[in-house]
Amino acid sequence: MRRALQLAATPGVPHGPNPRVGCVLLADDGTEVAEGFHRGAGTPHAEAAALAEAGESARGTTAVVTLEPCNHTGRTGPCAEALIAAGIRRVVHAASDQSSVATGGADRLRAAGIEVEGGLMADDARALNRAWTFAVEHGRPYVTWKFATTLDGRSAAADGTSRWVSSRAARLDTHRLRAECDTMLVGANTVVVDDPELTVRDEVDEPVARQPLRAVMGLRDLPADRRVLNDRAETVQLRTRDPREALELLHQRGRQHVFLEGGPTLAAAFLEAGLVDEVVCYVAPMLLGAGTSAVADLGITTIAEALRLHVDDVHVLQGHDGEDTNVRLTMRR
């Protein structure tokens, strides 16, 4: 399963709309007969890739898969059927597939007399496809709120200037994270005032396979000269100020991972609605003492009501050539 997870996480495999999946076929003595992984929507599933590599030698083997084999004919045929037809003896999978289209693979396999065992290293498999799993289970996209702040929690100085709080290394790192999401979300005010482009740019070493959708929420009309309206990526306007409604509209478009980069007001609205699942914060070694708070009033007046997060990761972005060193904190609810 460790090998199958490694295969699933092969660099270059796109994040979404499909989960990343790996598969290894094992002979009775534990030796590997074949392996495969899913390379993104429209390509063969991991099991199909492994079966193709194995050919006739698939018969009697154990299939180790990071996700419960699917039971549907989508862009490709059902993996459960393919495993049965290939004469697989036993299937061991990690996470189960709760998606309405594909679910039921384990039952289908058992009905055909194949021994099925699920749950092995399931936490790792779920973490690998965190946004996909979340979207399937909660019926809305996973939301990562990203912001940059000074040491005293300011995102802009008193006169409104905010360039450059975070270092070049931190900005580059942000582009890498943007590339892992399928949707960038900001408020219409941010578009009017800051005019961001909201694309993944050249700072990222590898060519960008697919630009995230740019979503702008709010009732305000956007001036035609704004950068989000250029043709470097697709843009949609969500005519609502309600975070829940905005996520519902994005869910209807099959979006699974929203990267929230709006200002303090939009961040507060999502936090108050309980709709921030992950927080990525870049801290710069800088003090302002006054200015815009990174997040607007949450209506909290006493410490017992503080919105508490768990720190998942701390990463130091070392400064070079006179640039600041920044710290990236990744936190979850």
> What does 283-330 look like in DSSP terms, one character per residue?
EES---SSSEESS---S--SGGG----EEEEEEEE---TTPPPEEEEE
In the numeric block, which tokens belong to residue 328?
């990236």
Residue nearest ligand AOF, Cβ-based: 74
Shortest separation between residue 1's beta carbon and Zn ion, angstroms: 17
Instruction: Please report whether residue 51 would count as binding Zn ion according to CB under 5 A.
Output: no
3 state SS of 63? strand
Residue 324 interacting partner from Zn ion, ligand AOF, none (CB closer than 5 to 8 Å by kind) = none
Shortest separation between residue 76's beta carbon and ligand AOF, angstroms: 4
Instruction: Please report whether residue 47 would count as binding ligand AOF according to CB under 6 A.
Output: yes
Distance CA 218, CA 167 (A): 30
Contact range with ligand AOF by CB under 6 A, out of 16-24, 106-114, 148-156, 166-174: 16-24
Q: Are 282 and 169 in contact (CB under 8 A)?
A: no
Instruction: Please report whether residue 93 would count as binding Zn ion according to CB under 5 A.
Output: no
269 annotated to bind ligand: yes
45 annotated to bind ligand: yes
Note if 47 is an active site residue: yes
Instruction: Please report whether residue 38 would count as binding ligand AOF according to CB under 6 A.
Output: yes
Q: Which residue has the tokens 């490694």?
A: 6
Shortest separation between residue 68's beta carbon and ligand AOF, angstroms: 7
- Amino acid identity at 29: D
3 state SS of 220? coil
Closer to Zn ion by Cβ: residue 5 or 185: 5
> Pick from 38, 39, 45, 108: which binds Zn ion (CB under 5 A)?
45
Instruction: Please report whether residue 141 would count as binding ligand AOF according to CB under 6 A.
Output: no
Residue 75 interacting partner from Zn ion, ligand AOF, none (CB closer than 5 to 8 Å by kind) = ligand AOF
Least Cα distance to 157 among 281, 262, 295, 292 occurs for: 292
- Residues 108-124 as b/e (b if ≥16 CB within 10 A, e otherwise) read bbeeeebebebebbbeb
Distance CA 25, CA 333 (A): 37
> Pick from 33, 58, 79, 86: which binds Zn ion (CB under 5 A)?
79
3 state SS of 216? strand
Shortest separation between residue 211's beta carbon and ligand AOF, angstroms: 20
Residue 77 interacting partner from Zn ion, ligand AOF, none (CB closer than 5 to 8 Å by kind) = none
Q: How many residues bind Zn ion (CB under 5 A)?
A: 3
Residues whose CB is less than 8 angstroms from the CB of residue 148 and which lie 6 or more positions away in sequence, other chains included: 155, 165, 166, 170, 281, 282, 283, 284, 294
Residue 46 interacting partner from ligand AOF, Zn ion, none (CB closer than 5 to 8 Å by kind) = ligand AOF
Residues whose CB is less than 8 angstroms from the CB of residue 84 and which lie 6 or more positions away in sequence, other chains included: 108, 109, 112, 114
Q: Which chain residues interact with ligand AOF by CB under 6 A?
A: 18-19, 21, 38, 41, 45-47, 67, 69-70, 74-76, 79, 97, 99, 102
Residues that constitute the known binding site: 45, 70, 79, 148, 162, 164, 178, 190, 194, 198, 201, 261, 263-269
Q: Write out the residues near Zn ion by the rule CB under 5 A.
A: 45, 70, 79
* Active site residue ranges: 47
